[in-house]
Structure 1
Amino acid sequence: LLSDEVVAHTRECVELPDTSEIKVVDRIRPSVPPDWYKPYEGDARGVSPMAAFGDGYRHHVTGLIHDVMGFPTQKPSEVEEFHLRQTKKISRGFPDIQMTKGYFLDDAETFVIAYGAVARSALSAVQEAREAGIKVGLLQLITLFPFPRRIVAPLLGQCRSVLIPEMNLGQMSREIQRVNQGVCNVVKYNRIDGKFITPREIYGQLIKL
């Protein structure tokens, strides 16, 4: 979960889709009697059946590391199993978890990779650069972890330079450099002075590339 103060305080109109257009994914329900129910005993995919409230199944909820019954535990074997199950679920779900949004990517020779509120500034700058005849695209990272390597790597292979604006000292740029391996020119633009990165700043960096 990305905590972004600017996004959190943004107020704007949204258009909600009709309920008929919303895909509802039902959780797996228990197939055993309530006395046999183990709420955190995953199936072959690591997914635990979830009983609905009122169905007669006991379900203990905690934010702590817990056993298959949902109660906190410090037993090494149960703690290890808890972490392994969570890790396997994420690993198997990479294609569904990794989310990005692309703008003007097909013919771009330069890319901006941005996330959070900075992606808004980046899109405005990219649109202005396009109007000026600069072949630039934007990849907005919606999911930061797991890092969407399978999406980022091909883009790095098709461009000359990539600009990474961040409101920190370059946390995401390190991931991109790790994937890049010297294929293209990676340029960082960072601010940590409490001021927001504006579209004009990003545009100013783009025309230098």
Structure 2
Amino acid sequence: MAVDKRRVERLTRELLEAIGEDPDRPGLRQTPARMAELYSEYFSGVHEDPAAPLAHTISVSRGPAPETLPSGAVLLRGIRFRSVCEHHLLPFAGHAHIAYLPGEQVVGLGALVKVVEILAARPQVQERLGEQIADTIAEHLDARGVLVVMDATHGCVTMRGGRQPEASTLTIAARGAYADPVARTELITLIGAGPGPSAWSQE
């Protein structure tokens, strides 16, 4: 199933009328169509399987030490993402940082990015988004441990209510070996270290 663009257009017109606007005035005439395209993009992940990108793995047993499992984590920092908060349908955006401790299989790094993109392209809350990413990797990849750190700014915090433009939200989801706070200490330090986007910066 895909986003019903015609219905979004119709409902956008109704929304504009509900706030007292004229959807036929020049500035708003194309807004329903634009909203339909926007929602089609923002919510494309609703009907996608986030585990699909993890289907193609690579065996590390073909390397120079076939009897040895990787001793350290694979860490991908600074994955930019954007999503829409399900409470107010306002955007939130930031960086996701993913680490996993491989078993006998590893996956292309682009697959991890795709998992984030699919799960973010749904009405979301950041707390659940990080947990869903961690669960998808833990359940569909041969990983002995998974850590997902997310840092994002939320429109519902920066543009309404308290209006705190500098505030960001940090969440951590951990599975397997990294459920132990001591075991993930090194990774948390590496995520926060430069150069490059860190969990502590939206630059």
Instruction: Give yes or no for TM over 0.5.
Output: no
Q: Relative contact order (alpha carbons < 8 A, sep ≥ 6): 1 or 2 greater?
A: 2
TM-score (norm 2): 0.30
The structure with the largest strand share of the pair is: 2
TM-score (norm 1): 0.30
